[in-house]
A and B are shown apart, each in its own frame.
Chain A
Amino acid sequence: GAVVSQHPSRVICKSGTSVKIECRSLDFQATTMFWYRQFPKQSLMLMATSNEGSKATYEQGVEKDKFLINHASLTLSTLTVTSAHPEDSSFYICSARSPGRYGGGTDTQYFGPGTRLTVL
């Protein structure tokens, strides 16, 4: 399957600092990437859709000024958690959409390994 990397895998920071997480598609070009957040024993919550060369689309309830997304190239999207607070501590996962196996233009998302953010 397609490979998506995330960096860093784990970060611990002080409250008030900003943290940048990178998501890269290693073996395909992704015009669209997604950022998710997962709380313990919960499903994946979509935060935003990142489109190469345009502004990200945020889901309802997600602060766009808090979670800055930049999709500068077809293989890289970044999520910056600005002025992080303890409640931002979570597992952040990105995914990249690649052309699917079936007709009709449907695509499959491949996920990165996730980033564990802990804000002290």
Chain B
Amino acid sequence: DQQVKQNSPSLSVQEGRISILNCDYTNSMFDYFLWYKKYPAEGPTFLISISSIKDKNEDGRFTVFLNKSAKHLSLHIVPSQPGDSAVYFCAASAGANSKLTFGKGITLSVRP
């Protein structure tokens, strides 16, 4: 059973516009959420995270929103740049010192 779901396999956005990447989860015990960016043949790079005590966290062009009642989070990238083109993984953990559960990823393409 997929506890972290990224239902859209891909997203294409024009450079300069906003990219919105969505993620849903089913495990109500999850309390820490992370987004990772991954290029082919490389390890994932940590982007941004959010604790369940917050509903928004911002870091430069990246903002993560958390809607606990809907069990939904989203990553906003604005403005999008061609270098943002990669696979983005949503991940979640339940409690301190626990393992991460990953979604299947979404491929973002930013068109020049």
Q: List residues of A whose CB falls within 8 A of some B CB.
A: 1, 4, 6, 32, 34, 42-44, 46, 49, 91, 93-95, 97, 100-114, 116
Contacts and interface: CB of A to CB of B under 8 A. Distances in A.
A106 B46 contact: no
Interface stretch (B13-21, B66-74, B89-97): B89-97
Contact of B96 (A4, A34, A93, A104): A104
- Contact-residue size bin, chain B (C-beta under 8 Å from the other chain): 20 to 34
Given A97-B97, A102-B49, 12 more contacts: A4-B43, A43-B89, A43-B103, A93-B43, A93-B44, A95-B43, A102-B54, A106-B32, A107-B97, A109-B34, A109-B100, A110-B46
B44 A44 contact: yes
Contacts of A46: 99-100
Contact of A100 (B32, B42, B89): B32
21 contacts: A4-B43, A43-B104, A46-B99, A49-B99, A91-B41, A94-B43, A100-B49, A101-B49, A102-B51, A104-B51, A104-B53, A105-B97, A106-B32, A108-B49, A111-B36, A111-B45, A111-B46, A113-B42, A113-B43, A114-B42, A116-B41
Contact of A111 (B32, B43, B53, B95): B43
Nearest to A44: B102
Contacts, number: 67
Nearest to A4: B43
B31 interface: yes
A35 B61 CA distance: 30
Given A93-B44, A106-B31, A106-B32, A43 B49 contact: no
B75 to A, nearest CB: 15
Contacts of A106: 31-32, 51, 93, 95-96
A76 to B, nearest CB: 17
